[in-house]
Amino acid sequence: MAKKQVKEKSIEETLWESANKLRGSVEPAEYKHVVLGLIFLKFASDKFEERRNSLIAEGKEKYIEMPDFYNMSNVFFLDEVSRWSYIIKNSKQNDIALKIDTALHNIEKNNKALKGALPDNYFSRLGLDITKLSSLLDTINEIDTLKDKAQDIVGRVYEYFLSKFALAEGKGKGEFYTPKTIVNLIAEMIEPYKGIIYDPACGSGGMFVQSIKFIENHHGNKKEVSIYGQEYTNTTYKLAKMNLAIRGISANLGEKAADTFGDDQHKDLKADYIMANPPFNQKDWRGENELTDDPRWRGYDVPPKSNANYGWILNMVSKLSDNGVAGFILANGALSGGGEEYKIRKTLIENKLVEAILVLPQDMFYTTNISVTIWILNKNKKAHIRNIGDETRKYRNRENEILFMDLRQIGEPFEKKFIQFNEQHIKDIATTYHTWQQTPSPSERAGERYKDIPEYCYSALLDEVAKKDFSLVPSKYIEFVNRDENIDFDEKMQSLQNEFADLLKAETASKADLLTVFKELGYEIKL
């Protein structure tokens, strides 16, 4: 009888199991900094030892304790008590947590690029179980972080852990992480190949990582891009710095963690590419100073204090260069609605900045089950030529059009209850967008040119958008072949929302009533 093949666990899975042993009294929001800090320490040490051995082999032993001879090779200098070998040697000691804290503190102190990046006093403060911590150190010790540079083992582990921590923290948590497939899609659409890249709510830096991967995949030069970002939460700011440092990505994330609206760290920045996943429907975001005269709103109405969505949009618009492109994610509520948001949206459309709107499937995010939207804003929708690597592209004038795409029927299951795009999905969606943008060459077959596809995409003239009162809801434009023409779906949705509001007010509302309305609104809710 043939033996059943047992699937070998990946490094990521083995590490995750070991890290999970730390759980108990320590919340995921805390212990992610423990685990990721240790992975960083192991990687930094391996790079240090590699460079140290290289200097010895070159007959430069007298330089092996000089930081400059490491920094010139983009390697962090580690003093003796900060090296992984020292940590492992003392891993069974009762004061190992203090030794790890000391190692991380010294590394940050000796390397200016890591200022404000590493966990500060986490290990001692959390009172971790020494046996479990020692076991985790032994598991991490087995990783040869330099074994296969092409596979980016450490980057892979880091990315895996960030996604798993976001899953573990669940609803209302994990804002530091945007699902990789969404980030990949934005990168493939706006193609951040050369110039300045900016993220005003950068979380753990995932947008930057995928931007660099896009450049590498298209044989570009990483030195031809500059990265700027800002993050409000101090612990997440540290995650971003570590995430980028571990991959050798240089970035300016500002002098400190700070609120993008109240303390803009890049006031005069003009970016060629903006990628962002700002907090959805942020309330009371303008603070005490109101920001009513902020230069970022110039030419537009002041965004409402009750919701920051249009504050984020105008922040990004103000940062775009003359040919800049922005790809970002917002809750669907920003696509329609009245008041100041309506006025701003109308002006954005009339200023010919809105290029594409893509509604995503539900359950793509680990923190919310709502369907959200990717917006593409483009300061140059006129006819022009652009080079991506060896490819020269001719873009047609799309100033008076907006591309709408409905992606709600696209995707595959992930972790049982989530949806993600695979590589082919991303390629197909990006191809539709780029085909729409470009002028067809005479040699192209008709089938290769852009065309509207029912239930998928539609190119709307600005006159059409104006007639629909400047709504950016894709379903108002895309043809639905199976739609019952006797039903006004927008009116039906509004009716259901009103019914739900009434049920919430009614003391007699049953769970069954609430579930029925939620289901008709498109949400599967368990009470």
DSSP 85-119: HHHHHTTTSTTHHHHHHHHHHHHHHH-GGGTTTS-
Higher pLDDT, 264 or 527: 264
Q: At the fourth CATH level, which superfamily is domain 181-227+257-476?
A: Vaccinia Virus protein VP39 (3.40.50.150)
pLDDT at 56 over 70: yes
What is the band of 34 on the pLDDT scale with cuts at 50, 70, 90? confident
Are residues 403 and 464 in contact, defined by beta-carbon separation less than 8 angstroms? no
In the beta sheet, which residues pair with residue 273?
197, 325
Pairing verdict, β 195-199 and 271-276: parallel
Q: What is the mean pLDDT of residues 261-289?
A: 90
User: For residues 2 and 475, what is the distance between their CA atoms, to the nearest angstrom?
Assistant: 54
Query: Which residue shows structure tokens 């660099």?
Result: 212
Predicted confidence (pLDDT) per residue in 89-98, tens digit: 999 999 999 9
**Is the whole model's pTM more than 0.85, yes or no?**
no
Apex 11 CA angle, 10 and 12, nearest 5: 90
Instruction: Please check whether residue 351 is in contact with residue 402, taking contact to mean a CB–CB distance below 8 angstroms.
Output: no
Alpha helices in 170-328 (DSSP H): 180-190, 206-217, 234-245, 309-319
* Rg (alpha carbons) of the chain, rounded to whole number: 25
| Overall average pLDDT of the 153-177 stretch | 64
Q: In the chain, where does the domain assigned CATH 1.20.1260.30 lie? A: 11-166
Residues forming CATH 3.40.50.150 domain(s) in the chain: 181-227+257-476
> Does residue 488 have a pLDDT over 50?
no
> CA triplet 11, 17, 21: central angle to 5 degrees?
140
177, 201 contact by CB (below 8 A): no
For the cut 80, the answer to whether the pLDDT of residue 447 exceeds it is no
Q: Which has the higher per-residue pLDDT, 509 or 290?
A: 290
Query: How many H helices and E strands in the chain?
Result: 17, 12
Report the DSSP pairing between strands 271-276 and 320-331.
Answer: parallel
CATH number for 11-166 (one of 3.10.20.30, 1.20.1260.30, 1.10.357.10, 3.65.10.10): it is: 1.20.1260.30
